[in-house]
Amino acid sequence: MSDYIRTELAGGVLSVTFARADKKNAITQAMYTALAEATERTRTDDAVRVILFKAEGDSFSAGNDIVDFLGMGSGAMSNDLPVHRFLKSLADLDKPAVAAVKGRAVGIGLTLLLNCDMVVVAEDAKLSAPFINLAIAPEAASSLLLPMVIGHQRAFEIFALGEPIDGRTALAWGIANRAAPADQVDAIAADLAEKLAARAPNSVRKTKRLMRDAEQLWALMQRENEAFGSQLSSPEAIEAFTAFSQKRAPDFSKLG
């Protein structure tokens, strides 16, 4: 278990806390292993009725840890990475998932929310999916789930421009169930999780299974990974990650 992912079970709710506040809760492969273990436990442990994702610090998650990611080299294209284990655990999860989001939710920080059943966001939260800014491709079945929730045009803008939307917009567009002042988010999310944990568990699980197709989601996640992997070694991505490391805007004008 990663030191940067903390779990606590109380009242049927497994709280999973991103605890790497000094790095804006950027996620490493070790953290993905811990997240996968927690999500798999939720599905298989009868004592767990709900999983609640939340975070310490001023950001929900800055997304993948770029240094950790690039440090894997050619292994970053492997289908056996902990991130893929976590994504499969999300696809297979048939118990409720709740998220409490404050500050920035970037990349997987946003796409994770699309795999949750109830989301509470801070009104001033900033949600973004800058995959195209990094010349890569969406993940976590977001290429299906985001347009399904908010419509093609809005989803394409989020993917293509990579610009953030705030919590109020996330609520209005249907990504979130509640938007509240940041200091109330955790309490509201915990209350919703507790209410879900008190509901008839088998009825809840069967309802969630009927509302989503786990096999379809996992199949799409694998297709997304293929697109992600093919882009990762492209001149576009090399330019994007070089620009990121040099703290400048990428120049795609000579690529095509």
Instruction: Pick the closest to residue 23 from 83, 66, 54 (CA basis).
Output: 66
Residue 79 has pLDDT above 90, yes or no: no
The domain ranges of the chain are 5-183
Between CA 155 and CA 162, with CA 159 as vertex, the angle to 5 degrees is 120
Span 32-54, average pLDDT:
98
Statement: residue 176 has pLDDT above 70: yes
Question: With bands split at pLDDT 50, 70 and 90, how would you rate the model's confidence at 1?
Answer: low
Check if CATH label 1.10.10.10 holds for domain 5-183: no
- In the structure, what pLDDT confidence band is assigned to residue 241 with cuts at 50, 70 and 90? confident
Q: Which residues contact 8 (CB under 8 A, 6 or more apart)?
A: 14, 15, 17
- In angstroms, what CA-CA distances link 161 with 43, 73, 107, 153? 36, 27, 13, 12
- In degrees, rounded to 5, the angle at the alpha carbon of residue 203 between the alpha carbons of residues 197 and 206 is 115
- pTM summary value: 0.94
Beta strands in 41-184 (DSSP E): 50-55, 59-61, 97-101, 104-106, 118-122, 126-128, 165-166, 178-180
Q: How far apart are CA 218 and CA 200, in angstroms?
A: 27
The answer to whether 187 and 181 have CB atoms below 8 angstroms apart is no
Give yes or no for a contact between 128 and 163, defined as CB atoms under 8 angstroms apart.
yes
